[in-house]
Amino acid sequence: MHEQIANYKGNKTYVDQHVVVYEEEVLPAGTYVFPCRFRLPKSCPTSCRGKYGHVRYLLQLTVDRPFRYDNVFNRPLTVLKRVDLNLNPEFKVPLQCEEICSVGCWPCATGDIIFTLWIPFGAYASGQILHYSLKIQNHSMTDITGYKVEFIECMTFVAQRPEYNEIETRTTVASQNSDDVCLRLSNRQFEGEMELPSLPADTEDQGLIRVEHYLQIEMILRGCHSNKTIAVPIFIGNVPIRESLDRAAEAETTPVQNPPPAYHQSDSSDEESTADRPPPYGDLKPPSFEEAISRSTLFLDVEANEFSPDDNFQPLYPMYRHVNDKN
């Protein structure tokens, strides 16, 4: 019996720009600084890396040496597509999900359990504290001995050749366990919180790599019954909802001097004045940046050459640990 392995591939170039910074035939020995700049298209997706693919950006310098091999230097970069959660009013509406599960099967069913999960907002930024409320109405004859909370990242990778295909991975990026119990024929309500790690923003288009996040709670049932789960989607952005912030944590001691205006297409002088500035944070303190969470398996490009960026490079994402959401 022979096994066949099918290889699927997909790729897309989002930006490919070249600038010649020195055009003379000979560059005398010495130290030089050659300024150059690139303007990234707004359509560039956020850098990310998963098991079967990645979105990555590379700054490459080539020194042309006649009659010898060229010197090539590389520096991987993180590109962040701005995802402002304040622009979607639906994210400010609390999430509530309810599941009704039967314990056992006919004719040995012991009753139903009703789980209700409530979250104050539908979207968060990395570093924020996500509060949740879990209400359990146990109408069965089975005890619930605890529950496990997981924040899950779902990445979908799309292949174009030799034919269209998709593969999905689910990674638990944060988890916690609770020993709180809900005995048979009783009701309980539990409050909890989870700090979100460094994560890429959710994607809003149908690109080759799609990113989504979920909060999942698994209830642990006593005996030989299977555990029950409840899950809700949580949209991850990189500018948090203002209503979710602790107002005392906003930047009030060190305001940003002359904050730059929002990015827009304009003439060349406008581009030169704002090209190297950070994005505007308004009255928020600028976030810190941390590497994406480590994963057990990461994509390695088999078609990469010696000029490819470091395979150990992890994108950096903004973290808003200095703010908290309000109940």
322 in a domain, yes or no? yes
252 in a domain, yes or no? no
Q: What is the pLDDT of residues 138-156, one digit of tens each?
A: 999 999 999 999 999 999 9
Q: Which residue has the higher pLDDT, 272 or 206?
A: 206
CATH number at residue 50: 2.60.40.640
The range of the structural domain enclosing residue 72 comes to 1-246+260-327
Cα end-to-end span (Å), the chain: 59
Q: What is the pLDDT of residues 38-84, one digit of tens each?
A: 999 988 999 999 999 999 999 999 888 888 888 888 889 999 999 99
9 in a domain, yes or no? yes
Residue 271 main-chain phi, psi, to 5 deg: -65, -40
241 in a domain, yes or no? yes
The total number of structural domains that make up the chain: 1
62 in a domain, yes or no? yes
298: buried, middle or exposed (CB in 10 Å: 19+, 13-18, 0-12)? middle
What average pLDDT score do residues 92-104 get?
92
225 in a domain, yes or no? yes
Q: Which residue has the higher pLDDT, 224 or 235?
A: 235
160 in a domain, yes or no? yes
251 in a domain, yes or no? no
